[in-house]
Amino acid sequence: MNRRSFLKAGAAALAGLALNARANTPARRIKTGVQLWSVRKLCEQDFPGTLRALKAMGYEGVQCGGFFGRTAKELNTLFKDLGLAAAGMQMQADRIIKPENLAASVEFARELGAPYLFVPHFDAKTADGWKRFAEQMSVAAQTFKAAGIRLGYHNHQHEFRDRFDGVCKWDILYQNASQDVYQQLDLGHCMLAGESPAFWLRKYPNRNPAVHVKASSNTTGVIGADGVDWEPAFAACEADITEWYVVEAEVRPDTLDDVRGCLAHMKKLGRA
């Protein structure tokens, strides 16, 4: 190779690197947290030690899917002491839609310092059941809103797969809920249901403050090892109101390896 060819090859390589860097540059920065359900076995054994390990790994916040024997105030103090933000929380539907439980649930979320609370599961067997749930969530959302907390719902796969008269459960819920009922779109479950997260983020804009970043796989908990192109989903989140990417790895709750692997792939994509 002569000098001219060498210089051309070098320029082409640098241009390629620059293009790749731009492709992995997010439109805006979104914080990275982790759902503690991902490492629940470790949390049960050594909760403060597990939180320290997650912080050292590079996670900025944690989302509670369980409370590990702590009160909301104790969790709030522990998170602050370790420099971790509360990236929301989850609580079962009965604690939200039953009026007799609502005030205590709002107070728990307030004391924890959670900016949002998501119901992690619901499964009415009829369209009317989902419409009723939408109404109940809309009513509860007003109480949460008055406390400065956003209330929402977290999907699995059945909300997209199951349909009543051709309309999926997700659509029934959000066509009947108020704008104050937010979403926690689980990106991995959405893809496993054969759907595009980007499509749903665009269909219901300004509803997803904290999405779940979960591998689209039943055999690995690590994004990137699932063979999925995550760029469209991340780009759609950045075009919306998303404030947190919350990693959730469900396959192995007794190791830090999967949440470490997810974070490493997000860093590779410029998302952490």
**Averaged confidence pLDDT in the chain:** 93
Cβ contact 208:242 at 8 Å:
yes
d(CA 42, CA 34): 14
Amino acid, res. 272: A
DSSP 44-61: HH-HHHHHHHHHHHT--E
pLDDT digits (tens, 9 = 90+) for 14-59: 444 343 444 568 999 999 999 999 999 999 999 999 999 999 999 9
DSSP state letter for 256: S
pLDDT of 1 reads: 53
pLDDT of 230 reads: 98
Degrees, nearest 5: CA angle 206-156-236: 35
Structure tokens at 167: 């309309």
Structure tokens at 234: 């991340």
pLDDT of 22 reads: 46
Structure tokens at 149: 């907390």
Residue 151's SS3 state is: strand
Cβ contact 238:265 at 8 Å:
no
pLDDT band of 254, cuts 50, 70, 90: very high
Q: What is the CA radius of gyration of the chain?
A: 20
- How many Å from the N-terminal Cα to the C-terminal Cα in the chain? 40
Beta-strand pair 31-35/167-168 = unpaired
Q: What percent of the chain has pLDDT over 90?
A: 90
pLDDT of 23 reads: 54
pLDDT of 14 reads: 42
Residue 191's SS3 state is: helix
Q: Which residues are registered as beta bridge partners of 54?
A: none
- Mean pLDDT lowest among 8-12, 84-88, 109-113: 8-12
pLDDT band of 8, cuts 50, 70, 90: low
d(CA 17, CA 13): 6
Alpha helices, DSSP H, located in 147-256: 158-161, 169-176, 187-192, 197-203, 231-239
d(CA 171, CA 162): 11
pLDDT of 196 reads: 98
pLDDT of 11 reads: 47
d(CA 222, CA 247): 9
pLDDT digits (tens, 9 = 90+) for 204-248: 999 999 999 999 999 999 999 999 999 999 999 999 999 999 999
* Rounded average pLDDT over 146-166: 98
Residues 6 or more apart whose CB falls under 8 angstroms from that of 14 comprise none
